[in-house]
Amino acid sequence: MTSQTTLAGPGQQPGKPDRSGGPDAPGSSDGLQAGLKNRHLSMIAIGGVIGAGLFVGSGAGIAAAGPAILLSYALVGLMVVFVMRMLGEMAAARPSSGSFSAYADQALGRWAGFSIGWLYWFFWVVVLAVEATAGAKILEGWVPGVPQWAWALIVMVVLTATNLVSVGSYGEFEFWFAGIKVVAIAAFVVVGLLAVFGLLPGSDNPGAGLAHLTDTGGFFPKGPGAVLTGVLMVVFSFMGSEIVTLAAGESENPQRAVQKATNSVIWRIAVFYLGSIFVVLTLLPWNDKSIVQEGGSYVAALNSIGIPHAGQVMNVIVLTAVLSCLNSGLYTASRMAFSLGGRGDAPKAFARVNKRGVPQVAILSSVVFGFVAVFFNYRWPDTVFQFLLNSSGAIALFVWLVICFTQLRMRGMILREQPEKLVVRMWLFPYLTWATIAMISFVLVYMLTDDDGRQQVLLSLLVAALVVAISLVREVRQRKVRA
C-alpha cells in the first residue's frame, strides 16, 4: 500500500496543505486514478437520482396525497435542481473527492467540513444495510434455499470486491445497473402513455386519458395540505444526486463531467420522477387498492395494462436499483472517508491508496460498518437498527442546507482566487440560494409536526450535535498543541 504525497494546488504555496478536499493536486485528489470514463459519469449522473424508493415507496405517497403527489415531487425536484446547481458551481471550479464536505471545510470552517463529512458517511453506511436487506429479500424469494442473511452477505461481498478492484470496475457496474433502471423507466413511461391515451394494441387498460387526475375526489382529494405531507414522504428518494460530483474527481475531465451532470438534472427529474408517477396516476385512480399493495404502484400500473409477470419484472428492476444504490453507497462512503483522512479529520490510513489508485482501507472500513448495521437489522430491527434509521433520516436535508450556506461563501472565494473557473453559476445568486435555504428549513420544521418526521429530525439533530461537539473539541485541542 502506498501513501499519498501532497502536491500544491492552484493558488497554493508549495509544501502547505491544500484544504480543497484532501491532499489535492490541481483539479483532482492525489492518488486516486482518473478511471471513470465519460459514459460512466453520464450514467452515474442519470441514474443517481433513481433509487429503489421510487419504485417501492411511491405508492404510499400517492395514497397520502392523491394526484397532488405530483406537486410534492415537483417541489422536491425543484429543491434538488437548485442544490445541484450550487454544488455544480463549486465542483466545476474545484473538483474534489470530498465534494461539499471539502467545500464546507474551506468556506465555513474545519468544524463544518468534519461534521457534514462524517454525517454523510454515516448516512450511506446505514443505506448499505437497508439496501442489502432489501436485495436479500428479493433474492430469497427466488432462491428460498439460501437464507436472507446469506444473500445480504453475498451481495455486500461481491460489490465490495468490485470497488476494491478499481474505480473503473465501480463505474462499469454502475453503468449497467443505472442503464437498466433508465431503460426500464423510459420504457414504462412510453408504454404507459400509449395505454393512457388508448394507443397501445392489446392493452387491458381502458385508456381514460387524463380523467383519473380529477375523477376521484378532484386533484386535491386529501386537501392542499397533503402536498406537504407528500413532500416528507418523497424527499429522501432524491438523495444521491450529489454522487456525481464526488465521482467527477476520478474522471479525465472533471469540469466537463460536472457541467453535463448539472445541466441535465432538470430533465432527469422531469422524466424519471414526474413522468413515471404521472403515468401511474393516469393509468389508475389514485385510491385503487392495488397501488399500495406489496408490489407497489409500478406493478399495479403494469398489471392494469396487462403486462404478464409484472411483479417479477419489477422485482428484477428493483433488485437492479438496490444493487446500484449499494454500489454507489459503498463508493460514496469510501471516498468521503478518503477525503476526511486526507484533511486530517479521519485516520491517515483512510487517505492511502494502493497501486491501483483505490483507497482500500477507506472501502474496507466503510463496509465493516455496513456489515455491523446489517447485523443490527437482523438482531435488533425494532430498536438499535430503527435508531440508526431515524438518526440518519434527516441528514439528507442537513447536507443540502450545508451546500447552500457553503455556496454563499464559496462564490466570493472563487471569484477572488480563480474567477476563470466559475464556469457553472447558480441562477439569480444569492436570491435563489436563500430561497432554497428557506424551502429546506421549512421542510425540516414541518417534519416536526409529523410523528415519524419528528423522531427523525430530533434524533438526526442529536447525532449532528454530537459530531459537531467532537469537531469543536478537536479544534480546541489542536490549537493548544500548536500553541
Residue 118 has pLDDT above 90, yes or no: yes
Give residue-wise pLDDT tens across range 464-474.
Answer: 999 999 999 98
276-294: average pLDDT:
89
Residue 13 binned pLDDT confidence (cut-offs 50, 70, 90): very low
364-393: average pLDDT:
86
Which residue is it, cell 404521472?
278
pLDDT at 296: 78
Question: Bigger pLDDT: 113 or 355?
Answer: 113
373-386: average pLDDT:
85
Residue 12 binned pLDDT confidence (cut-offs 50, 70, 90): very low
17-37: average pLDDT:
51
What the block records as the C-alpha cell of 125 is 453506511
24-50: average pLDDT:
66
SS3 448: coil
Residue 181 binned pLDDT confidence (cut-offs 50, 70, 90): confident
Distance CA 266, CA 427 (A): 14
Give residue-wise pLDDT tens across range 204-230.
Answer: 888 889 999 999 999 999 998 889 888
Distance CA 42, CA 100 (A): 20
Q: Is the peptide bond before 430 cis (omega within 30 degrees of 0)?
A: yes
pLDDT at 49: 62
CB 27 within 8 A of CB 254: yes
Q: CA 60 from chain center: how many Å?
A: 20
Distance CA 342, CA 32 (A): 12
Distance CA 96, CA 335 (A): 10
CB 305 within 8 A of CB 195: yes
CB 23 within 8 A of CB 54: no
CB 305 within 8 A of CB 203: yes
DSSP sequence for 307-350: -TTHHHHHHHHHHHHHHHHHHHHHHHHHHHHHHHHHTTSS-GGG
Longest dimension (CA), the chain: 79
Residue 135 makes CB contacts below 8 A (sequence gap 6+) with 151, 152, 155, 319, 322, 323, 326
pLDDT at 133: 86
Question: 115-119, 150-154, 398-402: which range is least confident on average?
Answer: 150-154
Residue 9 has pLDDT above 50, yes or no: no
pLDDT at 137: 86
Distance CA 247, CA 167 (A): 9
435-440: average pLDDT:
95
Question: Bigger pLDDT: 240 or 151?
Answer: 151
The closest alpha carbon to 248, from 11, 29, 30, 400, belongs to: 29
Distance CA 307, CA 283 (A): 13
Residue 8 has pLDDT above 60, yes or no: no
Give residue-wise pLDDT tens across range 41-97.
Answer: 777 777 766 766 777 778 888 988 999 999 999 999 999 999 999 999 999 888 887
CB 123 within 8 A of CB 459: no
pLDDT at 46: 74
Residue 108 has pLDDT above 50, yes or no: yes
The closest alpha carbon to 52, from 378, 381, 329, belongs to: 329
Angle between helices 69-93 and 226-234 (to 10 degrees): 50
Question: 69-73, 309-313, 397-401: which range is least confident on average?
Answer: 309-313
| 3-state DSSP helix/strand/coil % of the chain, to nearest 5 | 70, 0, 25
Which residue is it, cell 453535463?
260
pLDDT at 11: 33
Distance CA 53, CA 193 (A): 22
Which residue is it, cell 378532484?
218
Average pLDDT score, the chain: 84
* Distances from the Cα of 409 to the Cα of 86, 98, 104, 404, angstroms: 11, 17, 9, 9
What the block records as the C-alpha cell of 289 is 387498492
Q: Is the pTM of this model over 0.85?
A: yes
355: number of Cβ within 10 Å: 8
Secondary structure string (H, E, C) spanning 18-56: CCCCCCEECCEECCCCCCECHHHHHHHHHHCCCCHHHHH
Residue 29 has pLDDT above 70, yes or no: no
pLDDT at 16: 36
Q: Write the DSSP symbol of residue 235.
A: G
Q: What percent of the chain has pLDDT over 90?
A: 34
Q: Which long-range contacts (CB under 8 A, 24 or more apart) does 223-227 make?
A: 224/68, 226/64, 226/65, 226/66, 226/68, 227/65, 227/68, 227/69, 227/71, 227/72, 227/75
Residue 337 has phi, psi (to 5 degrees) of -65, -40
264-289: average pLDDT:
89
Q: Write the DSSP symbol of residue 372.
A: H
Residue 157 has pLDDT above 60, yes or no: yes
Residue 3 has pLDDT above 60, yes or no: no
299-313, 378-392, 409-423, range with greatest mean pLDDT: 409-423
Question: 118-127, 296-305, 377-386: which range is least confident on average?
Answer: 377-386
Residue 328 has pLDDT above 60, yes or no: yes
pLDDT at 295: 67
